[in-house]
Amino acid sequence: MIRFMMCIAIAMSMAALQPASQAEAATVVTWDAPAPDDFDSGRFTFTGFTANALTAISGLGFYQDGGADRIFSLELQLDGAWITIGSTDPGDGPFSHELLSDIDAPLLFTSALVTGIGFFVDAPVGFAFNDLTRTQFTFDTVAETPLPAALPLFGTGLGMIGLFGWRKRRRAAPS
């Protein structure tokens, strides 16, 4: 029984020594840039949060090529720098267009502070992006669990190891 209890105490101590865990939650940002709602390139910024993926885009916002072959890009402001995380071509044909919600997600990136979303096209077509108002962008938010939360568990494990060692020495000592 004592050996079993010592194994449990050791396991508890080892679990307490593990690095801080990361819990994931979703953060939804709604496109809330000032007018106009139709543009060739646009950005808006907001109070940041830490994330590592853009998991979904929902809403009626779309992009169109204006009858020319164009490349459309999505960029995020990550740790203060604008980074392109996705590009696409809506296809051939006159005035081809696609919904932003059709962009393949998730778009993964290194965990960073996200403070802005932007769109741009490689050459002006006149209102390449349309109806973005109320388009929502869902991010996986990474939240660190602080290490001090594990310290009481670690202390309990060490205390149990000490207690079992003391009991073992006490029983082994001649009376």
Do residues 138 and 164 share a domain? no
**What would the pLDDT profile of 113-131 be if each residue is shown by its tens digit?**
999 998 888 877 777 777 7
Instruction: Count Cβ atoms below 10 Å from residue 114 Cβ, excluding itself.
Output: 24
In the chain, the number of structural domains is 2
Q: Which domain holds residue 156?
A: 1-20+147-175
Confidence of residue 21 (pLDDT cuts 50, 70, 90): very low
- Spell out where the chain has E strands: 22-30, 41-58, 62-64, 72-78, 81-88, 97-99, 107-121, 129-130, 136-144
Can you state the angle between helices 151-172 and 2-16, rounded to 10 degrees?
A: 150
Do residues 3 and 84 share a domain? no
- Residue 72 exposure: Cα atoms within 13 Å on the Cβ side: 28
Q: Specify the pTM.
A: 0.64
Do residues 115 and 57 share a domain? yes
Do residues 89 and 61 share a domain? yes
DSSP structure class, residue 111: E
Do residues 76 and 106 share a domain? yes
Do residues 133 and 156 share a domain? no
- Give 65-83 as a DSSP string: -TTS---EEEEEEETTEEE
Do residues 157 and 117 share a domain? no
Do residues 140 and 65 share a domain? yes
**What would the pLDDT profile of 138-158 be if each residue is shown by its tens digit?**
998 765 556 666 778 788 888
167/147 Cα distance (integer angstroms): 31
